[in-house]
Amino acid sequence: MPKVSICIPAYGNPEGIKRLLSSVREQTYTDYEVVVTDDSPDDAVEKAVRQAAIPALRYYKNRTRLGASANWNEAVRRSEGAYIKMMHHDDWFASPDSLFRFVSLLEQTPGSVLAFSGTRQVDLTGREAPYERGIGQEQLCLIREDWRNLFLGNYIGAPSAVLYKRNGQEYAPELTWLVDVEYYMRLLKETPRFACLTEPLVCIGVSESQLTQQCRRDKDLNLYEYGFLFREFFLLGNKAYETKLIEVALTYGIPYRMIAPYGIERGAYAKAACQKRRADIRSLAGAARRKLWGRKNNGEQT
């Protein structure tokens, strides 16, 4: 049985699959298997996988399209390793020793249920330069203090930045946008111990066509999923978590009646709405002043 299962829930993007599998072949740590579950409507991903020349690789074509989170679960179900390394098809290992360092990080921190690293964000269009992201000290303190603070922000990062111990739990099929955050919260609720480093061990491919970008713009989905976590983890009664839910509603212009069922008080919503209006007015005024100042400067230069 392999130590690590590299699980790849694929949907299209054969070029991304090739890049990812190429980075897998380069890994110095070799006690792994690769499991690809393919939700694609054609055979482009399968052809890319067959060309990978990785001995410990198993490919499965889903008979019907499962959807994102269900395909994640399918990949994990098909795997056998003690550790699960989810890798999405837009992402890849940043260096040949990435997998070795993930495993070492987890095993050298006794009792940890998961380990995560920083990431290198790469614009797949090439228009923007890559940049690195990693958990800050304040964020680290927040989730060490209370795992529920992940509701305030995904301080752990994308699934590709995480290695975790097989535990029998599955990703919530009801979720799309916050499916990873909800999973981390469940894991840490049972065992609130983790390991991390800020150095990027994976590259995260970013483009406007990704599901992530679509979810970010969907107000109904955001309210539903934040509300789902709010209820699942009994966050009512904590001011910080209530404020976060209100902020989500205000960001998307969602009226009070839509978040009232979560137990949020009308007064708290109204106060936050007033503060946001004032902040928006100050922001618009500042932008207008900067624009006017720019015009004056241009006039002086001419």
Beta pairing class for 32-38 and 4-10: parallel
> What's residue 278's pLDDT?
86
Q: Are 210 and 125 in contact (CB under 8 A)?
A: no
Look-up: residue for tokens 């070029």? 15
Q: Are 77 and 7 in contact (CB under 8 A)?
A: no
Average predicted confidence (pLDDT) for the chain = 92
- Residue 113: CA atoms inside 13 Å, Cβ hemisphere, count? 16
Q: Are 82 and 96 in contact (CB under 8 A)?
A: no
> What's residue 156's pLDDT?
97
Directed axis angle between helix 179-190 and helix 219-232, to 10°? 10
Q: What is the pLDDT of residues 173-228, one digit of tens each?
A: 999 999 999 999 999 999 999 999 999 999 999 876 666 667 777 899 999 999 99
- Kindly report the CA angle at 208 between 202 and 209, in degrees rounded to 5? 95
> What's residue 207's pLDDT?
78
> What's residue 214's pLDDT?
72
d(CA 66, CA 10): 11
Residue 114, both tokens: 């998961």
d(CA 55, CA 281): 60
> What's residue 126's pLDDT?
84
Q: Which residues of the chain have pLDDT under 50?
A: 302
